[in-house]
Amino acid sequence: MTSLRDMPVDRKVFLSIVTTSALALLVALTATLAYETATFERRVVEQLRAQVRLLHLEVPLRFDDSKATSKDLEALGTIPGIEAASVFRADGSTLARWVGTAGESPLPEGPLAERTRFDGERLTLTRAIRDEEELLGHILVVYRLPRLPERLARHGIVVGIVAVALLAVALSLTGLLRRLVTRPIFELATAAREVSARKDYRVRVTVGGNDEIGQLTRAFNQMLSAIERGEQEQRRAAEEIRALNADLERRVAHRTEQLETANRELEAFSYSVSHDLRAPLRAIDGFSHLLVVEHGPGLVPPARAYLERIRNATQKMGRLIDDLLKLSRVTRSELRCEAVDLSAMARQIAGDLAERTPRRRVRLGIDEGVTALGDARLLQVALQNLFDNAWKFTKRRDEGAIAFGEQRRGADRVFFVRDNGAGFDMRYVEKLFVPFQRLHREAEFSGTGIGLATVQRIVARHGGRVWAEGEVDKGATFFFTLGG
């Protein structure tokens, strides 16, 4: 059985009208019966009194005319429901009486008081007859009340007629409402199902008016228009994206070809630097050394100093070439990510530095269990440069201090290398990671200015970043993160 919630709208409307009409009819019937019950006896009494007044019994009573009085009572008996009537003189004696065909209604004898009494199904009405202020006598009338079912039957007929009329009106209103209300809703629901099933947003519903349903239909059509425009724009955007992707793929392919060409040229340049430039430098350094060894005693002191400066310059240029080649290899080498124990790597690097300079006093603090995901070879190069840097700038301390560890900054893992060395001025911090940029003189601390640039390239290739904090003569700390 279909629940009320799932019932069609037109049936709901019909049931609503019929139910409302039935309830209204029931309320009206109840009110009518209550009113009829409350006013029936009063109306009957008023009608009997009116009939008694029409008899004009004052004259027969004054002349003690029983014959005329009897005729008046017989005329009163023609009224339906009156069973008996009696007229009494002022002293209470009976002047005349009339009893209907049933003849069973008791008529009291003797003096009576003016009153109205309901006894079961009968009404006994006693009324005084006066001529001005003089009491001439009394009239007593016995009236049989209609039974309640009879009264209800009369009302039932009326209620039935009204119910049939209301049902006809409900059917007429249902047909009218179906045309005005349910049919537009049905058309709207049909269109919505069609749009949902076929994804055809060109469907439109005819707007029948400017009421709420018309406004809903208009809004539905506007929504479909907006969706249709959105789909058209989406298709155009998709076509543009496909065109852009195709163009981007062509550009990427062209750019990749250019990069491959540049890499080949860079490899050729590296090979040229590695072989073509090293040979002249080795010749200059070798012949300078021979001049010092074989002809040094015969040279004047300035000439010997010039030769030493030539040899130092060629050796420095050789170191620069080596560092450039290392930086080039770091940029071009392929990443092989794996789990790397950075703590073990730091201990090995610090141990090698301590073996090379056994006279240095350096206090090491390396956190245990620091690991990361990355290319072990490149991370080795980065840590080597950071420790070399810290080792170099703490050489003037009686006891150097170098620490390596990990910090948590929000969701980031931040690794650091800290020292108590020469430090630097934070105004020039941006120059630290630029190739060949140095914040200290060569005479104070040797180097080519390539190490920190190499660290920056390695960290960037791992998707991280590197930065530094320091203060002159109070040490420095280098921080870096690794992506992933």
Looking at domain 335-480, its CATH class is alpha beta
pLDDT at position 122: 80
| Tally of CA atoms within 13 A in the half-sphere of 365 that contains its CB | 11
Pick the closest to residue 424 from 433, 414, 416 (CA basis).
Answer: 433
pLDDT of 428-441, one tens digit each? 888 888 776 665 55
pLDDT at position 443: 47
pLDDT of 174-205, one tens digit each? 666 666 666 677 676 777 777 777 777 677 77
User: Which residues, in sequence order, are CB contacts of 166 under 8 Å at separation 6+?
Assistant: 21, 22, 24, 25
Between 348 and 258, the more confident residue is 348
Only one residue has tokens 């425009």, namely: 229
pTM beyond cutoff 0.85: no
Three-class secondary structure assignment of 295-350: HHHHCCHHHHHHHHHHHHHHHHHHHHHHHHHHHHHHHHCCCCEEEEEHHHHHHHHH
% of the chain residues with pLDDT over 90: 13
How far apart, in whole angstroms, are the C-alpha atoms of residue 315 and residue 285?
Answer: 7
pLDDT of 352-398, one tens digit each? 988 888 888 999 999 999 999 998 888 998 999 899 889 888 988 88
**472 residue type, one letter:** V
Only one residue has tokens 């350096």, namely: 362
Between 248 and 181, the more confident residue is 248
User: Which residues, in sequence order, are CB contacts of 21 under 8 Å at separation 6+?
Assistant: 163, 166, 167, 169, 170
| CB burial readout 379-399, b (16+ within 10 A) else e | bbbbbbbbbebbbbbbeebee
Whether 43 contacts 114, CB under 8 Å: no
Looking at domain 9-161, its CATH class is alpha beta
Domain locations in the chain? 9-161, 201-332, 335-480
pLDDT at position 106: 58
User: Which residues, in sequence order, are CB contacts of 438 under 8 Å at separation 6+?
Assistant: 447, 449
**170 residue type, one letter:** A
How far apart, in whole angstroms, are the C-alpha atoms of residue 175 and residue 173?
Answer: 5
pLDDT at position 479: 96
Tokens of 388: 């070399």
Segment among 48-62, 263-277, 390-404 with least mean pLDDT: 263-277
Instruction: Read off the pLDDT band of 413 (50, 70, 90).
Output: very high
pLDDT of 321-358, one tens digit each? 666 666 666 666 677 889 999 999 999 999 998 888 88
Tokens of 392: 């170099």
